[in-house]
Copies of this chain bind each other. A is one copy, B any other.
């Protein structure tokens, strides 16, 4: 097809205005309205539907990011996972109406070479936002990284969060004997043991984590799915059974403070119990996406898994929502629905 002139199209995008120290202050991120260019040959114009919010985005704003992703540059639009719909295509691999996932989030419209976008099944999930979910992270963290075995006791930190809520449920569905979780408030604890079906949970503010974890897992833990680092990681090392395995997925606890995490502590304990600690990201495990997708859609269909999602409306509300996310105000996966809720009319 040929491109349709649409030079009058504008859209919002978020840019890094200043590098924050810790949590972003008002003004560190700016929302600007920009002209949206037509796609040139080989390019595609996508209208974004949902932007994924992820605590790791804070690290990408910071001066010395240690994540294996390009950091955010001042004055440039930020990147992030998004799902959108092809509006105009100048490449034969994608057609208008296709649903695509990509990394050009934090903007209402994305224009790039077709290779930047990956088509996904429109009918896979009840909402396109589920394509941004962290189920695959939870799945490979348990199955490939921590080598979950039937009968294991599994501990999941940040158990009400985007990854933890799925990790605990998937552990149960794939053979764990007991699943325990930690979360940041009494309400979240109730949510984790109630709606999400964990066997036990505790508020990590509630006294020494080590004591709470011992109560929740009196026979010790075999697998720890770590989303937070810090005191909970050290407590898990103490409570681990011999040959325990720790999947290091995130380090939320110290991320918001900017201070380095002291880490898992004395290696003598790790040696004495023959523990394995392994850091991972989902990108080394994309070969498991098809296997996971099939199982996950089955669990959703038969109601054996709860997909917990917080939806924030409008890109203008995304910066504050990211801060709220890091502060622990939400449960489940947090996404921003774009083109609504900001008093503007998006082109749709």
Interface residues of A in 268-285 (CB under 8 A from B): 268-281, 284
Cα distance A263–B260 in the bound complex, in angstroms? 13
Contact A268 B68 (CB under 8 A): no
Q: Is A261 interfacial (CB-CB < 8 Å)? A: yes
Q: Which of B250, B268, B273, B276 contacts A261 (CB 8 A)?
A: B268
Copies of this chain in the oligomer? 2
Contact A265 B267 (CB under 8 A): no
Q: Which of A233, A255, A265 has the most chain B CB atoms inside 10 A of its CB? A: A265
Chain B residue contacts of A249, Cβ below 8 A: 271
- Identify the closest chain B residue to A277 (Cβ): B277
Q: Which of B67, B243, B261 contacts A266 (CB 8 A)?
A: B261
Cα distance A245–B265 in the bound complex, in angstroms? 18
Q: Which of B263, B269, B270 contacts A267 (CB 8 A)?
A: B263
Q: Is A262 interfacial (CB-CB < 8 Å)? A: yes
Q: Is A128 interfacial (CB-CB < 8 Å)? A: no
Contact B264 A248 (CB under 8 A): no
| A166, chain B: closest CB distance, angstroms | 18
Cα distance A273–B283 in the bound complex, in angstroms? 12
Q: Is A59 interfacial (CB-CB < 8 Å)? A: yes
Contact B273 A276 (CB under 8 A): no
Q: Which of B242, B265, B272, B284 contacts A262 (CB 8 A)?
A: B265
Chain B residue contacts of A271, Cβ below 8 A: 248-251, 279-281
Q: Is A66 interfacial (CB-CB < 8 Å)? A: yes
Chain B residue contacts of A275, Cβ below 8 A: 278-279
Could you tell me which A residues sit within 8 Å of B by CB distance?
59, 66-68, 226, 229, 233, 242-243, 248-251, 254-255, 260-281, 284
**Please, could you name 27 A-B residue pairs with CB atoms under 8 Å apart, sorted by A?**
A66-B268, A67-B272, A68-B242, A226-B267, A229-B268, A233-B267, A248-B267, A248-B271, A250-B271, A251-B271, A254-B266, A260-B265, A260-B268, A261-B267, A261-B268, A263-B263, A263-B265, A263-B266, A263-B270, A264-B264, A269-B279, A270-B279, A271-B281, A273-B279, A274-B281, A276-B276, A276-B278
For the complex with contacts A254-B266, A260-B265, 15 further pairs of A-B residues with Cβ separation under 8 Å are: A66-B272, A67-B268, A229-B266, A229-B267, A249-B271, A251-B268, A260-B266, A261-B268, A262-B263, A262-B266, A263-B263, A270-B277, A271-B279, A273-B279, A274-B279
